[in-house]
Amino acid sequence: MGFLTGKRALIVGVATDRSIAWGIAQAMQREGAELAFSYLNDKMRERVEPLAHSLGSRLTMPLDVMVDEQCNDAFELLKREWGELDILVHAVAFAPREALTGSFLQATTREGFRIAHDVSSYSFTALARHAHPLMTGRRGALLTLTYLGALRSIPGYNVMGLAKASLEANVRFLAADLGPEGIRVNAISAGPIKTLAAAGIPGFRKMLGRVAEIAPLRRNVTLEDVGNAAAFLCSDLAAGITGEILYVDSGFSTVGMSFPLEGGDA
Ligand code: NAD
Ligand code: 0WE
């Protein structure tokens, strides 16, 4: 029997079969969870519905996290269909493309800053507030996805780094508020993965190569790596873990310097 048997999960952030949210959905379904999916708009609906069906899920709904009314409607639907929720996966981030082009100093506008923080951080607070009443007395778990750019400057990540720093603080404040009710809130900080959100980022391939050279595991992480860690964090196996940022990054963030020692074989 899977370690998520009997759990119900809403997955927000599937766009394609390379989405991190899709890797998480597959791992959770394998461990016995029942899934619901949201999609951003009609274009994404055409992609997400067949993916949902392939995992035995018939519960799908539109959700643009920038629109309050769509948040209300999505959770109204969940309440009608399920009445309760155990797991919420938030795998959503967006900044205007211009904000991720060129230097942080030059590329960051008031509008780009606002949008990045709205979609990529505030949305987690908003979804948590909606999920909360459906999770009472159910040992619920919330999970979001973050990136090392929250803590370190990374070329081109720009205002998204600030939004991820805010998201990580969000995890800690939500964990404090919801912990007394047994609801846990965590994040996975994933290493770079070639998803839709990474497509067309200049130098992304080079970045994947650098991680594979420098990280202790000498490889990039996979959707399966992140999916399995996510399934664990949202399961009762992780009952003592909340407010945490778990690195699933081949150990990249733990390295201070990396070069072959003379005479060594590393
Ligand atoms: P992705 O493009 O597959 O997923 C991003 C999702 O965000 C898409 O499903 C998109 O529809 C959704 N989205 C964007 N704006 C939205 C809005 N207004 N309302 C609702 N949904 C919206 O890319 P991904 O890499 O799987 O990204 C998922 C998460 O993982 C993001 O938070 C990203 O920052 C994080 N992450 C990605 C990497 C990586 O290298 N790919 C590394 C670490 C963390
Ligand atoms: O969080 C992300 C990317 C999020 C993202 C991607 C896009 C591309 C399309 C947010 N907004 C947009 N807007 C668009 O118009 N990652 C962790 C992946 C990523 O993006 C980078 C990275 C990494 C890693 C950008 C620069 C440097 C590294």
Q: What is the mean pLDDT of residues 87-98?
A: 98
Which residues are marked as active site?
A: 147, 157
Nearest ligand 1 atom, CA 21: 26
Closest CA to 29 of 13, 59, 8, 15: 8
Counting from 1 in the atom list of ligand 2, the atom nearest the Cα of 156 is 26
Residue 88 DSSP SS3:
strand
Can you tell me the distance from the alpha carbon of 227 to that of 172, in angstroms, rounded to the nearest whole number?
22
Cα 266 to ligand 1 centroid, rounded to whole Å: 35
Percent of the chain residues past pLDDT 70, beyond the cut = 99
Alpha helices in 56-132 (DSSP H): 68-81, 104-107, 110-117, 123-131
HSE toward the beta carbon, residue 42, CA cutoff 13 A: 0
In this prediction, residue 263 carries a pLDDT of 75
Cα(197) to ligand 2 centroid in Å equals 5
- Residues 93-135: pLDDT tens digits? 999 999 999 999 999 999 999 999 999 999 999 999 999 999 9
Cβ of 190 below 6 Å from ligand 2:
no
* 11 Cα–ligand 1 center, Å: 12
Is the pTM for the entire model greater than 0.95?
yes
- Say if CB 231 and CB 27 are below 8 A apart: yes
pLDDT at 206: 94
Atom of ligand 1 nearest to the CA of 148: 43
97 Cβ inside 6 Å of ligand 2: yes
